């Protein structure tokens, strides 16, 4: 493997190596396999575009410079750490054989990577204002009512996000067999670590939107078994059951947000908003933990402490004792 990037052959060899690494280091059973592979590839490519040299020639200073550049471009600290970790994984993979180890020499990320940032401590822990959520829903619903099938799907998806607080991989990974309807309407989702979690969703508006979408997409009477609940309807879709990717939906939501005039948002903010609503409505952090499916109460505390408004229950009575 040449360390020069001046020829198309060298570029092709590096691209092949990166794609092979991403494929070999992503679980075959992952429902987000495509998204995960793409994120890994893009992380390494972003580094190469920044340093403009073969990664075998990069130094710890190059890694630190890339880290700083990502921050300057507006990436969250936790996102940057994840991208740098992916780069480190590529180096470790590339050094597994004597031939490639002789080329790469060492992993520059090891000497440059800062300590892992504390979870959810940055400014990225934000809820979406109810007015903004309404503006977003109104925009998507208007497009759905005009006959846009993708917008019909996205409106139903947004209602599922708002009413359940589930993670995007959980909602986007749903199949028809995961839906259970009766006196109580539920969905069964695959969560982090391969575990299964059943979530009750009883708001009729969310289910009505789902069935409106299935009818609009001519799938209402044909869907069954392992068929994905949410599929692509764009011209690039190669068949009737191409599942909608989390990346594709996230991009569409950002586009909707711009149309609604509410600025940039990301999907995880719907989970933040749900956490805030549950904590403030119930007044219980354990209620929020159960609703979010967090195993660690400390994670829920971070959500709630940063997002929730502490209600004034005792201020007036405390002042009454004095005045």
Catalytic residues: 167, 192, 268, 271, 294, 303
In the chain, at which residue ranges do the beta strands (DSSP E only) sit?
A: 179-180, 186-190, 196-200
CA dihedral (171, 255, 74, 288) positive or negative: negative
Whole-angstrom distance, CA of residue 243 vs CA of residue 176: 12
Residues in CB range of 128: below 8 A, 6 or more apart: 136, 265, 269, 270, 272, 273
Whole-angstrom distance, CA of residue 146 vs CA of residue 6: 51
- What tokens were used for 173? 């990974």
For residue 60, give the 3-state DSSP assignment.
helix
Q: Indicate the helix (H) or strand (E) that contains 291.
A: helix 285-292
Shortest CA distance to 116 belongs to which of 82, 162, 144, 152?
Answer: 82
């Amino acid at each position: 493997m040449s360390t020069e990037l001046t020829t198309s052959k060298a570029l092709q060899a590096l691209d092949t190596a990166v794609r092979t690494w991403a494929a070999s280091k992503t679980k075959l059973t992952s429902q987000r396999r495509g998204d995960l592979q793409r994120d890994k590839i893009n992380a390494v490519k972003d580094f190469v575009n920044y340093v403009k040299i073969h990664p075998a020639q990069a130094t710890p200073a190059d890694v630190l410079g890339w880290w700083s550049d990502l921050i300057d471009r507006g990436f969250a600290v936790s996102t940057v750490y994840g991208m740098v970790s992916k780069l480190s994984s590529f180096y470790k993979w590339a050094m597994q054989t004597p031939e490639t180890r002789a080329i790469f020499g060492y992993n520059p990320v090891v000497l440059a990577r800062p300590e892992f940032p504390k979870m959810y401590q940055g400014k990225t822990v934000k809820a979406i204002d109810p007015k903004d959520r309404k503006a977003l829903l109104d925009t998507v619903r208007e497009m759905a009512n005009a006959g846009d099938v993708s917008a019909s799907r996205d409106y139903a998806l947004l209602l599922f996000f708002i009413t359940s607080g589930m993670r995007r991989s959980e909602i986007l990974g749903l199949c028809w067999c995961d839906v259970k309807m009766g006196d109580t309407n539920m969905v069964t989702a695959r969560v982090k670590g391969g575990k299964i979690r059943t979530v009750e969703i009883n708001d009729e508006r969310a289910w009505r939107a789902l069935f409106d979408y299935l009818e609009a997409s001519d799938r209402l009477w044909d869907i069954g078994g392992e068929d994905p609940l949410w599929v692509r309807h764009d011209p690039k879709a190669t068949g009737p059951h191409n599942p909608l990717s989390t990346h594709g939906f996230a991009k569409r939501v950002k586009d909707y947000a711009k149309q609604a005039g509410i600025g940039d948002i990301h999907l995880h903010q719907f989970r933040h908003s749900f956490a805030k609503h549950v904590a403030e409505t119930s007044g219980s952090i354990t209620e929020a933990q159960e609703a979010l499916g967090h195993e660690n109460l400390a994670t829920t505390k971070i959500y709630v402490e940063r997002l929730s408004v502490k209600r004034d229950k005792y201020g007036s009575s405390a002042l009454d004792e004095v005045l």
